[in-house]
């Protein structure tokens, strides 16, 4: 791909809707795909985002909008980070340059952003088949005839939701098209039996060519139709041995493929050919993650989702900077723990790199399990390991843990099994509502036997992991994306953390600010402003634990001064709610809570979002000072 092309985007700039795309001759589509790849590289290099999966789906997205009459026909995307090309072709070319920026183009698919083309929003994996099936059944009941197409990709077929949807299709509709975008990866390399099965299909595609050749040959033989019928019956009896895609065929879904997802001629011929099928069909499309950009082709995992980078070198703007993130500190601590702990098992759901476990997986392969995009399975698998005498640590993003909350309750907490869940990306993130980790505590806080912790920095995370290792019950440790900015220290024994005890970071007389996790730094900064600007002396508490909360210390503070809480979570479910419930019958001064409200927090730069929601140290200090004078 020519990264230095300065000729603009003459074809892409003419496309305000898929109708404009369909007016182009097929011979222009290759040039359009090149322009789109340059646009993707230009915008993602500047703003960050999901580059490799979108580079791989360029031709496929163009072909789908070229063949189907969108938006009358419905495209349902699985995992919204396949959707950048879809956005460019559906009237969002002008705002695409603001990708992932505050008040700009969302990095995932959203009905709010485009109700006409994003018929179902998408941010998490595994939803396309079930949502498309719902649309198809609704269409059938209305008696209309539009096509419904589910685009499943990035390893989502491994997901339990996808399999549940596949199981229901033949009972629910006769008209549904599934496009399987198979790039052999989710975020990390795909794992498990289903990807291996798809790989066998790919390697066995010569069978389909041979089958077509033989049918064409028999057409010249008198009575050929009878011969074909006999062969078909034989094939039906032996297809589990011979036929690619038998898994889908047995589910009542016609299998087509595999086909080259970067060959327009083959894509258009195949997709146009299945458009009028009157039975469910799955088209197996082989794509390359990062296609057309050598740096992404060589490192698709790195370029799956990344911050801004130099498009010429592929080097991210954060590469080489000092500082250890929470994710990195977690991975290093797991390595430290693994050396003496023969009974350790570390589990992740297709997030090996994102959770900081890449090096661990290479050093301790026997203690590492990547279960693919299967969060519920990851949690129940951990429960089984714990019941069998192994000590599991599950590394998972906060937004994805929500998909397995019933399993956390039913299989871990109710049975009081010593599973440690390390919950990365808690709090708000740039990606927006589908990925903010601010909704989980309201559920987790109510679960029996569960302890919930959050560290103020990476060094305290290490200490909390060691403390949880000694704890006999289930534990969740929540920490945010990025770094605290405090140097990580792991060259001395971890600091002992008394279970259920908070840490007083600073003593004061006028009010007590209780903070959860990294918000302890926000509290310290706000306390400094209160003292220097308003003459107020604030106690600052690193609560460390949400459950069990340090009730003794809380009641002592509440008896003599105002309580303030700060958290990177909804106030209706986290620290604020816990303290309100504990102090409901106590004689207390008015409590002030700082956190996220019940509305949907938008996407964008997290610093700008904090300013807009008045969750900066300056805004917090001003509100506290105003309340103290009343």
What positions carry a catalytic annotation? 289, 375, 403
Spell out the SS3 assignment of 539-601.
EEEECCEEECCCHHHHHHHHCCCEEEEEEEEECCCCHHHHHHHHCCCCCCCCCEEEEECCCCC
Q: How many CA atoms lie within 13 A of 525 on its CB side?
A: 12
DSSP result, 304-330: TSB--B-TTT--BTTTT-S---HHHHH
d(CA 378, CA 141): 37
Burial class, 254, CB count within 10 angstroms (exposed 0-12 / middle 13-18 / buried 19+): middle
Cβ atoms within 10 Å, residue 405: 17
Taking the CA atoms of residue 345, residue 349, residue 350 and residue 355 in that order, the dihedral angle to the nearest 10 degrees is -70
Is residue 137 within 8 A of residue 105, CB to CB? The reply is no
d(CA 330, CA 318): 19
d(CA 516, CA 101): 27
Q: Give Cβ neighbours of residue 549 (< 8 Å, ≥ 6 apart).
A: 500, 502, 543, 578, 579, 582
Q: Is 418 helix (H, G, I), strand (E, B) or coil?
A: coil
DSSP result, 106-129: -SSB-TTT-TTT-SS-B-STT-HH
Is residue 199 within 8 A of residue 184, CB to CB? The reply is yes
d(CA 546, CA 564): 15
d(CA 222, CA 225): 8
d(CA 592, CA 226): 82
d(CA 121, CA 126): 12
**Cα dist from 494 to 205, 400, 488, whole Å:** 55, 29, 11
Which own/partner contact pairs does 197-202 have at CB distance under 8 Å and 24+ positions apart?
197/247, 198/157, 198/284, 200/244, 201/244, 201/245, 201/257, 201/258, 201/284, 202/258, 202/286
């Amino acid at each position: 791909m020519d990264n230095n092309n300065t000729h603009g985007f003459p074809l892409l700039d003419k496309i305000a809707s898929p109708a404009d795309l369909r007016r182009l001759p097929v011979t222009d589509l290759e040039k359009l795909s090149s322009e789109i790849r340059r646009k993707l590289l230009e915008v993602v290099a500047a703003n960050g985002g999901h580059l490799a999966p979108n580079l791989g789906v360029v031709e496929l997205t163009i072909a789908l909008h070229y063949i189907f009459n969108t938006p009358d026909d419905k495209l349902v995307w699985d995992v919204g980070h396949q959707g950048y090309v879809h956005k460019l072709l559906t009237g969002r070319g002008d705002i695409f340059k603001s990708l992932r920026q505050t008040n700009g183009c969302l990095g995932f698919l959203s009905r709010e952003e485009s109700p006409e083309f994003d018929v179902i929003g998408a941010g998490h994996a595994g939803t396309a088949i079930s949502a498309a099936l719902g649309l198809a059944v609704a269409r059938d009941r209305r008696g209309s005839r539009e096509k419904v197409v589910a685009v499943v990709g990035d390893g989502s077929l491994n997901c339990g939701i996808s399999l549940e949807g596949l199981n229901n299709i033949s009972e629910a509709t006769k008209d549904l098209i599934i496009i399987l975008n198979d790039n052999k990866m989710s975020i990390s390399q795909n794992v498990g039996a289903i990807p291996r099965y798809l790989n066998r299909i790919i390697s066995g595609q010569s069978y389909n060519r041979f089958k077509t050749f033989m049918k064409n040959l028999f057409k010249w033989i008198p009575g050929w139709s009878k011969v074909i019928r006999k062969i078909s019956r034989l094939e039906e009896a032996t297809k589990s041995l011979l036929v690619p895609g038998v898994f889908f065929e047995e589910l009542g879904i016609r299998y087509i493929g595999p086909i080259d997802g970067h060959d327009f001629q083959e894509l258009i011929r195949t997709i146009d050919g299945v458009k009028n099928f009157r039975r469910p069909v799955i088209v197996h499309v082989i794509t390359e993650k990062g296609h057309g950009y050598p740096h992404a082709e060589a490192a698709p995992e790195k370029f799956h989702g990344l911050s801004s980078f130099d498009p010429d070198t592929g080097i991210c703007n954060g590469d080489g900077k000092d500082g250890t993130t929470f994710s990195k500190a977690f991975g290093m601590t797991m390595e430290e723990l693994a050396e003496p702990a023969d009974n350790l098992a570390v589990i992740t759901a297709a997030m090996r790199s994102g959770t900081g476990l890449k090096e661990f997986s290479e050093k301790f392969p026997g203690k590492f399990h990547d279960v693919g995009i299967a969060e519920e399975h990851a949690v129940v698998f951990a429960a089984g390991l714990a019941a069998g005498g192994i000590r599991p640590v599950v590394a998972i993003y906060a937004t994805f843990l929500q998909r397995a909350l019933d399993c956390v309750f039913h299989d871990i907490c109710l049975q009081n099994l010593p599973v440690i869940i390390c919950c990365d990306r808690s709090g708000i993130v740039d990606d927006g509502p589908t990925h903010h980790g601010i909704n989980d505590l309201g559920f987790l806080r109510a679960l029996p036997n569960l302890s919930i912790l959050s560290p103020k920095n990476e060094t305290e995370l290490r200490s909390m992991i060691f403390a949880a290792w000694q704890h006999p019950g289930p534990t969740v440790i929540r920490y945010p994306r990025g770094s605290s900015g405090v140097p990580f220290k792991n060259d001395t024994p971890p600091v002992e953390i008394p279970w259920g005890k908070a840490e007083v970071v600073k003593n004061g007389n006028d009010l007590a600010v209780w903070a959860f996790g990294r918000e302890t730094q926000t509290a310290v900064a706000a306390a400094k402003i209160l003292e220097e600007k308003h003459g107020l002396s604030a106690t600052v508490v690193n609560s460390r634990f949400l459950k069990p909360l340090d009730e003794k210390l809380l009641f002592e503070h509440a008896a003599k001064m105002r309580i303030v809480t700060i958290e990177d979570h909804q106030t209706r479910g986290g620290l604020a709610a816990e303290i309100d419930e504990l102090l409901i019958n106590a004689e207390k001064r008015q409590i002030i809570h700082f956190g996220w409200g019940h509305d949907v927090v938008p996407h964008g730069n997290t610093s700008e979002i904090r300013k807009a929601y008045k969750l900066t140290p300056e805004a917090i200090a001003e509100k506290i000072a105003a309340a103290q004078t009343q």
